[in-house]
Amino acid sequence: MSRDEVTVHVGRNGTDTIAADTRTLETTESFGIVLESHDTPAHVHCRLGGDLAHVATLEQSHYYVEPDEGTYVPILVDDVDADVAGTLEVSTGYGAASVSIDVTVTPGPPPVEVDETLAQPRPSEPEPTVLERLSTASGLDAGTIGLVVLGLVALGVATATAAVVGGPVALVGVLVVVVGIGVATLLLLR
């Protein structure tokens, strides 16, 4: 069902009366009319006029509308290159009452070109590593972060060794590691 439609009331103000919600419609695609019958059944005739008859078609021209019900009448529109104007005439009572709706069909948006590359999945970006995420979050480059982690591991190993071996020599070994880390940090900050 199209999003463009016009409601035409049949028999709302008495037998053989007809009225449309709007007298003009501009569309880029197929549309429809809804025939709303009030109180009595009705025979309704639809006809396309003007240049609209060359680009649009009705599935049928005669409709029987049950009392207090609606009937949807689809109007299929071909693609157009330029504006096409015409009329949709809806009548009842064997032509005794009619309403005319001016319809303008305008060109739709250009078609989307689809080629084989659309069917191929795009390669996804690889997930960043922990080191890359830390580098982005801290603003330091990956080499600096790696050196800091290596220094912390060396300090941990030196401390664990000093605790196991014990004595002043082990303490001197830990101090050498701490001084090495300090010198490396100074060199990085230059």
pLDDT digits (tens, 9 = 90+) for 107-142: 988 877 887 877 778 777 888 887 677 777 777 777
DSSP 8-state symbol, 96: T
Instruction: Tell me the residue type at 44.
Output: V
Q: Which CATH number fits domain 5-107: 3.40.50.150, 2.60.40.10, 3.40.190.10, 2.170.190.11?
A: 2.60.40.10
pLDDT score for 2: 47
| Percent of the chain topping pLDDT 90 | 36
Q: Indicate yes or no: pTM above 0.75.
A: no
Average pLDDT over residues 68-97: 91
In terms of Cβ atoms closer than 10 Å to its own Cβ (0-12, 13-18, 19+), residue 24 is exposed
Whether the CB-CB separation of 90 and 20 falls below 8 Å is answered with yes
Q: Which residue has the higher pLDDT, 14 or 83?
A: 83
Q: What rounded mean pLDDT belongs to the chain? A: 86
* Sequence-separated (6 or more) residues with CB below 8 Å from residue 139: none
Strand partners, 99: 90
Q: Which residue has the higher pLDDT, 182 or 46?
A: 46
Instruction: Tell me the residue type at 108.
Output: G
CA–CA distance, 36 with 70 (Å, rounded to integer): 4
pLDDT 10s digits, 31-75: 999 999 888 888 999 999 999 999 999 989 999 998 888 899 999
CA–CA distance, 48 with 55 (Å, rounded to integer): 10
Rg of the chain's alpha carbons, rounded to an integer?
Answer: 41
